[in-house]
Chains A and B, each alone.
Chain A
Amino acid sequence: MTDIVAQGNGNTASYSVRAALRRYWPAIAVIAFAIMLPWLFYDWSKGRHSGFVVSLISQMGLMTIFALSFNMQMGQAGLLSFGHAVFLGLGGYVTIHALNAVGDGSFWLPMEIMPLVGGISGLTFATFFGYMATKQTGTAYAMITLGFGELVSAAAVMFNGFFGGEGGVTANRMVKASLLGLTYGPAIEVYYLILVWTVISAVLMLLLTQVPLGRMANACRDNSERAQFVGYDPRMVRFYQCAISGFFAGIAGALYAIDYEIVTYDAVGAVLSANVLLMTFIGGVGVFWGPVVGAVLITLLQSWMSLISNAWLIYVAFLFVVMVIYAPGGIAGLIMAHLPIWRAGRVAALTVPYLRIVPPVLVGIVGFVGLVELTYSASIGRGQGKVLALFNHAIDTGSFLLWVAPAMLLVCGAAVAASQRPAFVAAWAAVSDETRAKEPGR
């Protein structure tokens, strides 16, 4: 028995530095990379940072916090919210007023802890809204949060004193209040502020998955009735989880306010609420770091792909639909599904099935992209006097053949992929069944 006792504690509770390194090295590597990243794009000849890159990765950081906080409800407690931007936006509004107050000297707070203003605001509003919304679960919860989102959006254009009307509220973040003597004028200083708060928030949210409340949130997600019969009130579990999630969304909102120096009603709006849902699902709701992947990827697509193609929104939407249908666990879910197979050394068994299904899928995607770009160019693009170019050759969208080619690629690619799918699914099932029985639960 003492053996079991020792194991029961030992194998789940090794918190030595070496064990932590072994377990968390990917996260540490990501953080190290994030610290170095601005310098990889540093323009040494002009001696300045790439404004585009710094602004992009700043946004990635705050969206990472936002998506992780969304997943505290979605993935961990099974609560689908359509109004999560409310907490980011309100946290942002309070922070921008706090910035202005510090700026005109009526209030003093160093920039380094300014995000807590947003956090506490987010917590306060999430306590208020969450108390009502968490009376329900499932579809009803989603509807209530949708309603709150619309309510706050409507309020944002009605109450000009706080929300600044359609123009929003602006501020100057150079308020000369810093513990480190920084001005926060240069975007790079703001980036490191965001990075530090992203790491702090992510670590705290990770720890919150390992405490009684977080575990019971999982339990209520799986079976809220059973949770009642082990002494927990699922409603209170949902309420606390929702409130804490609002705290972190508020921190993201504060960083949003500091980064952009303006908060408008967009920050509480349905588009941002939908965006965080998109990020979280594409990244993966079932794994803690899934939303990080989603936030980084979608932010990248939004900023970088929007430079390449005006039709980028269609691609994001398409990606979302495809992920939800074929990989409901998101990117993180796909990776986690492959890990046991990789560990068992059975990747070779999947090589051939992958080689047979990936090329037709890629062909289909090329066809799809071609059609979307042609359609866009022939409609909106022409109106703007733009010319579609492929490999620097102008393309005449009026040519019939030009439409047939991508259509053929799409149809043939999809048909071949569909014909290969049963074989792929069977091969996948065989290999994963082999390794799955040993897969641990969470």
Chain B
Amino acid sequence: MNAIPAIALRDIHKSFGATEIIRGVTLEIQRGQRHGIIGPNGAGKTTLFNMISGRLSVSRGQIELNGQPIHNRAPHEINRMGLSRSFQITSLFHRLSVFENVRCALLWSRGYGYSIAHLLNKQRDLNTATAVLLERLGLWDRREVRAGLLSYAEQRALEIGITVAGGADVVLLDEPTAGMNRNEADHAVALIRQLTEGKTLIIVEHDMSVVFNLADAVSVLVYGQIIASDVPERVRTNPRVREAYLGSKAA
């Protein structure tokens, strides 16, 4: 069991001015694991994601991706090392078509870089991969619509599609089912399960049923600290967790 973890957080701290949001988080997530992070509002879940993905700097501590330090590196560098993320508030290329959105997300991982010598429409493998992913997302029929004009659930599906398109083996999803009804959420969970097959998945979620349904392990973040990290059944029955988080809600 000494394999290098996919993600390792070592005593991470984050302060905004005098306010300490993350107060020493240490966590290892093994390869292929589906790891849920839960916690009450303002616990710092999204801040944690922002630090892992390079959107925010780390005040103190270290983050490793497959054994390589990634803290305080630029988001595109971290992405190129094999980590991808989605956003709680949908973040698309809103004036581009659905097809172009997915194709853009595939470009770097397929080695196109900043090329000016490849006509996109002539790249058969690229366009095939785009079409296949669109079909899996259920967005093939909507491929020519501007992303900004999609329905909310469709935008969320596209958000996940852009996140997994590049083939990153560590995927961070920030509240992928936020704002969805039960039916849409179930559909999204099935989609996530299918698209992240064999990958390491870290998911922040408010919807408990989604987390306990999807995750192999769950960490509970309260006031910038992890108070429990275990398999879902044991987290569910952990008295500290019930007190700090579930207790107030389950009532």
Contacts and interface: CB of A to CB of B under 8 A. Distances in A.
Given A12-B127, A231-B109, A440-B146, A226 B92 contact: yes
A8 B128 contact: yes
B7 interface: no
A212 B166 contact: no
Contacts of A226: 87, 91-93, 162
A223 B107 CA distance: 16
Given A15-B121, A222-B94, A213 B127 contact: no
Interface string B145-186: 111110000000000001101100000000000000000000
Interface residues of A, number: 42
Contacts of B132: 1, 4-5, 8
A219 B96 contact: yes
A442 interface: yes
A16 interface: no
A15 B122 contact: yes
Nearest to B91: A226
Given A223-B94, A226-B91, A442-B96, A231 B79 contact: yes
A218 B92 CA distance: 12
Given A212-B115, A216-B114, A236-B114, A13 B121 contact: yes
B63 to A, nearest CB: 16
B195 interface: no
A9 interface: yes
Contacts of B130: 8
A213 B121 contact: no
Given A8-B127, A223-B92, A441-B146, A213 B120 contact: no
A228 interface: yes
Contacts of A210: 119-121
A442 B120 contact: no
Interface string A407-442: 000000000000000000000000000001101111
Given A231-B80, A442-B96, A219 B131 contact: no
Nearest to B81: A231
Select the residue from A4, A214, A221 with max chain B CB neighbours within 10 A. Answer: A4
A215 interface: yes
B120 A223 contact: no
Given A211-B116, A213-B115, A222-B95, A228 B103 contact: no
A437 B145 CA distance: 8
Nearest to B150: A441
A222 B96 contact: yes
Contact of A13 (B84, B95, B122): B122
A441 B100 contact: yes
Contact of B131 (A7, A207, A237, A441): A7
A9 B147 contact: no
B107 A216 contact: yes
26 contacts: A4-B132, A8-B132, A12-B127, A208-B116, A210-B119, A211-B119, A212-B112, A212-B118, A213-B115, A213-B116, A215-B96, A215-B103, A222-B92, A222-B94, A226-B87, A229-B53, A229-B75, A229-B163, A231-B107, A231-B109, A233-B74, A240-B114, A240-B116, A244-B116, A439-B146, A440-B146
List 3 A-B pairs, minimum CB-CB distance, nearest first: A8-B131, A231-B108, A441-B97
